[in-house]
Amino acid sequence: MCKYTKMFRELRQVLRAVMLSRKRRQRYGLKTVGGLLVFLWTETGTSFKSLSCTVAAAGPWCTEIKKKALQAVLTDLKESLFLCPGPCPEPDPEELCAFTDLYGSLKLLVSFQMIDARGFSPELLAHLESFLHTFSLANAGIKTHLKFKFNQQTLQQEFRVKIKSKVAKVDQPSVILDVTCKTQPPECVKKGCWCQGGHPVRGDRLPLSIPAQVMDQGLYGELSVQPVTLLSPCVLQYPNLETQLTHIQLLVYSPSNVPVTGPSTFFQIIPAHLDCEELGCHGLHCSSFKDLVYSGGTVYTVEQENWEDPEQESRLPSIQQSVRLFLFLQHSDPFTSQLSDDMATEALIEHHLEDILSNNRQAVTAALHTEIKNVLKAQNRRKKDQEKLHSAVKVILSSSVSIVSCSSNLDFRNACLNSMKVCDTHELSASLCESLKRVTSWKFIPKGKCYSAQMKEYPESNEPTRSEI
């Protein structure tokens, strides 16, 4: 197994333990505010340098953690999984000062040795960043920090979340998503008229049947998957803009809300099972999975119909969009009562995920088809509206200009030309065309639920600012 895979497995186990221990404690109304620090560092003064990892947590979000139970699980992990069992070095407390200054005293501190530091490469850091970014997308209430100290060099990164949105799950605690949109608004958009966030849409929860061979391994109870889609950028306030879906990013999360990493054969080949014609697109192609092992799930490129129109240049503008499709795995078993049971269950789910998905191929494919179709339905409706606007605009312009051109009323003609600040009817035609296209395409209708005002960091709060059901 790749050395990085093992390292990530350990980190994920620690995170899983922390997340499960708080989830078990309180089903609803979890405090979600606080900080999480992943600190990679090298220890000096030994015969060889090893890379250590410290996971620290502080703030209200981890007050519900049952420390005894968590400690027991972490001890087991250290003995069974960690590469370098035995006493682990602890980080210099000075390195954690900045973190505790922000979030208060530490509620959790776990350290373990990862790999021989000589095996370190920048690729490791990139993968770790990607993993933690994916973690913060679905745990946006927790401020995630990554700190790296190697050879006296220190790098720090905060996975800052500008806009959060709570999504309720059936019979499960809500999830706080990062819905910040990083797309810059086009130049013609006025200040305060661009939604800087997204509006997650919860799909239907899909029960999953557990294959017999997985049950034999000890996985019982009820398993399901909850899809949530997030379209970005949001153009709800611009009803006449044409949109074009270019990418779909599929992210899978375990019941503890920790990202499931690793390439998934099942999701890679799913485009072959989708009816693209029914969806209204030319095709879906899975991106190369070279980068998918640790990073952002599975990415599909959406191939749209190539509309060849001689007048295509004169068509109204369109906005490219992408969809983030979250798949939250959910599990419940009334016969499990210990944190260690939850840890074991989750390990089983992740280990047998391909088998579970294959066992439910038709249902999962249909569910994904439905989610993508709903996104494309809106896009297709906009396209139809655009075509209507486009053909009507041509008639309006030609009819208006024809009246101006053949009028013998000098006052009328001059009034029209002066109004548009042009010299003749030819320029008038071009100027009217540009203006009419602009006012029709960029028609703006403010929506209360959009994040259009000048944004600032949201203050710390137990409740996220918006809730979406």
Partner 1 sequence: MDTGGVLELFSEVEKLRVQLMNNVEVMPDCQRVEGEVSHKEILTCIENIILGIVTSLSKDEAPILALPNRSSWANISFDSAIGLQMVSGSSITTIRSDCPSSVTKFAQIVKILSVIYRLVQSNSYATKRDIYYSNTQLFGSQSAVDSIVDDISCMLKVPRRSLHVLATSKGLISGDLCYMEEDGTRIDCYSSSTGKGVPDVNSRLMVRKLWDTLHIPVFALVDADPHGIEIMCIYKYGSVAMSFEAHSLTVPSVMWLGLLPSDLQRLRVPEDALIPLTKRDESKLSSLLKRPYLTSQPDWQREMELMQQTKVKAEIQSLAAIAPDFLTNTYLPNKLRYGGWV
Q: Write out the residues near partner 1 by the rule CB under 8 A.
A: 240, 384-385, 388-389, 391-393, 395-396, 399-400, 402-404, 406-407, 409, 412, 415-416, 419-421, 428, 432, 435-436, 438-440, 443
SS3 of residue 4 by DSSP:
helix
**Least distance (Å) from partner 1 to the CB of residue 438?**
7
User: DSSP for 74-104?
Assistant: HHHHHHHT-SS-SPPP---GGGGHHHHHHH-
**Least distance (Å) from partner 1 to the CB of residue 411?**
9
Q: Nearer to partner 1 by C-beta: 412 or 458?
A: 412
Assigned token pair, 180: 């910040």
**Least distance (Å) from partner 1 to the CB of residue 440?**
5
Q: Nearer to partner 1 by C-beta: 97 or 439?
A: 439
C-alpha 79: how far from chain center: 34
**Least distance (Å) from partner 1 to the CB of residue 333?**
51
For residue 115, give the nearest of 98, 127, 107, 132 by alpha carbon.
127
Q: Nearer to partner 1 by C-beta: 320 or 419?
A: 419
Q: Nearer to partner 1 by C-beta: 1 or 445?
A: 445
**Least distance (Å) from partner 1 to the CB of residue 385?**
4
**Least distance (Å) from partner 1 to the CB of residue 439?**
5
Burial of 42 (0-12, 13-18, 19+ CB in 10 A): middle
Q: Nearer to partner 1 by C-beta: 156 or 407?
A: 407
**Least distance (Å) from partner 1 to the CB of residue 416?**
5
Q: Nearer to partner 1 by C-beta: 26 or 405?
A: 405
**Is 327:251 a contact under the CB 8 Å cutoff?**
yes
Asked whether the CA dihedral 131, 342, 23, 18 is positive or negative, the reply is: negative
**Least distance (Å) from partner 1 to the CB of residue 192?**
17
- Taking the CA of residue 187 as centre, how many other CA atoms within 13 Å lie in the half-sphere pointing to its CB? 0
From residue 203, give the alpha-carbon distance in Å to each of 220, 252, 366, 377, 434: 25, 15, 12, 15, 40
Whether residue 233 has a cis bond before it, omega within 30° of 0? yes
**Is 363:260 a contact under the CB 8 Å cutoff?**
no
Q: Nearer to partner 1 by C-beta: 246 or 440?
A: 440
Q: Nearer to partner 1 by C-beta: 118 or 190?
A: 190
The conformation of residue 259, written as its DSSP 8-state character, comes to B
- Of the chain, the end-to-end C-alpha distance in Å amounts to 41
Neighbours of 272 (CB within 10 A): 11
